[in-house]
């Protein structure tokens, strides 16, 4: 006996379409999960009716997962993890199973992916902040990157300094999406506005997290993103002070990109934990 599948399209969020899926039967089983399709993926599929495409994908997920156990909370389809057509995407589900299509914010529950953990913390912060203050802490990251690609990149250990700095830039983009400010603020820059907001709203409880964010922005100020060195009046070349300060803060080591990334992402995730604790 095949399960009964119902799909409800939800209000559009950012640059994606969300659906609530309910799977009933056989027997007394009754599961629900959320499924999201980004506008980019939908455009690549070039399907006349997205609801038909979603039904094909849902049926493939249900077949792959089975109904003997509860489904994960959410699945995610974007241009990074999907195929060039609906059928290709369905074939990937049958071949690779559901793991590549789990929502990045919940992947850490099913695999030890630190990048998924990061995105999950951001979603928890946004939900908590919205419930308490009426607005999320971050503006939508949909314009910044594909979630699955970012989760994979943040989870993979860099093999050289260029890939390390690339991952630092991804975290910097997240910081740039901070979206809170006090009324009539004269501050410029999302991080300065966030600092002013947390000083006024939370009496400076998030200052340690702000410091981590500032140090990460300083770490970004090096080759090839910015000038790597500073020149004195006498022409002596020295490493930029911002980079020196941030390197000491994160306890980075020359020529050890894997160690350095662990130091940075651990500090960053710790700052997110501090923010969540501070606004709860």
**CA atoms of 166 and 46, how far apart (whole Å):** 32
Q: Note the pLDDT of residue 112.
A: 42
**CA atoms of 142 and 17, how far apart (whole Å):** 12
- Do residues 228 and 252 touch, judged by C-beta distance below 8 A? no
Rg over CA atoms, the chain: 22
**CA atoms of 74 and 87, how far apart (whole Å):** 21
Q: Is the peptide bond before 220 cis (omega within 30 degrees of 0)?
A: no
Pairing status of strand 4-9 against strand 30-38: unpaired
Best CA proximity match to 37, nearest among 81, 91, 97: 81
Per-residue pLDDT of the chain (280 residues; tens, 9 = 90+): 688 999 999 998 788 999 999 999 888 889 999 999 999 999 999 888 899 999 999 999 998 888 878 898 999 999 989 999 999 999 999 888 888 898 877 776 654 445 667 888 888 899 899 999 999 999 888 777 777 787 778 878 888 988 999 999 989 999 999 999 888 877 888 999 999 999 999 999 999 999 999 999 999 887 666 676 666 666 667 667 888 889 999 988 888 898 899 889 889 989 999 999 999 8
HSE value, Cβ hemisphere, 13 Å, CA-based, for 135:
9
Q: Note the pLDDT of residue 113.
A: 47
Other beta carbons less than 10 A from residue 71's beta carbon:
18
Convert 89-98 to b/e letters by CB count within 10 Å (16 or more is b). Answer: bbebbeeeeb
**CA atoms of 160 and 256, how far apart (whole Å):** 8
Q: Note the pLDDT of residue 223.
A: 66
Instruction: Supply the DSSP string of 204-268, one letter for each residue.
Output: TTTHHHHHHHHHHHHHTSSTTTS--EEE-TT--EEE-HHHHHHHHHTT--TT-HHHHHHHHHHHH
Q: Note the pLDDT of residue 121.
A: 86
The model carries a pTM of 0.63
Burial (CB < 10 A; 0-12, 13-18, 19+), residue 14, is: middle
Q: Note the pLDDT of residue 190.
A: 92
């Amino acid at each position: 006996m095949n399960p009964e599948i119902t799909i409800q399209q939800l209000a559009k969020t950012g640059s994606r379409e969300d659906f609530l899926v309910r799977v009933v039967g056989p027997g007394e089983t009754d599961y629900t999960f959320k499924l999201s399709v980004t506008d980019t993926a939908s455009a690549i599929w070039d399907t006349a009716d997205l609801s038909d495409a979603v039904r094909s994908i849902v049926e493939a997920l249900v077949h792959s997962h089975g109904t003997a156990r509860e489904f994960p909370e959410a699945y995610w389809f974007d241009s990074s993890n999907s195929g060039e057509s609906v059928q290709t995407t369905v074939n990937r589900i049958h071949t690779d199973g559901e793991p590549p299509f789990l929502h990045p914010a919940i992947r850490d529950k099913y695999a030890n992916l630190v990048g998924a953990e990061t995105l999950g913390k951001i979603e928890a912060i946004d939900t908590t902040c919205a419930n308490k203050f009426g607005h999320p802490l971050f503006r939508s990251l949909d314009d910044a990157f594909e979630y699955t690609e970012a989760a994979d990149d943040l989870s993979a250990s860099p093999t050289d300094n260029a890939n390390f700095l690339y991952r630092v830039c991804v975290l910097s983009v997240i910081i740039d999406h901070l979206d809170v400010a006090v009324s009539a603020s004269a501050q410029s820059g999302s991080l300065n506005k966030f600092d002013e907001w947390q000083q006024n709203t939370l009496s400076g409880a998030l200052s340690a997290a702000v410091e981590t964010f500032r140090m990460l922005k300083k770490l970004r100020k090096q080759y090839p993103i910015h000038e790597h060195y500073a020149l004195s009046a006498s022409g002596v070349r020295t490493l930029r002070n911002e980079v020196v300060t941030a390197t000491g803060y994160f306890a980075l080591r020359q020529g050890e990109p894997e160690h350095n990334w662990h130091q940075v992402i651990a500090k960053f995730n710790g700052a997110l934990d501090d923010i969540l604790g501070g606004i709860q």
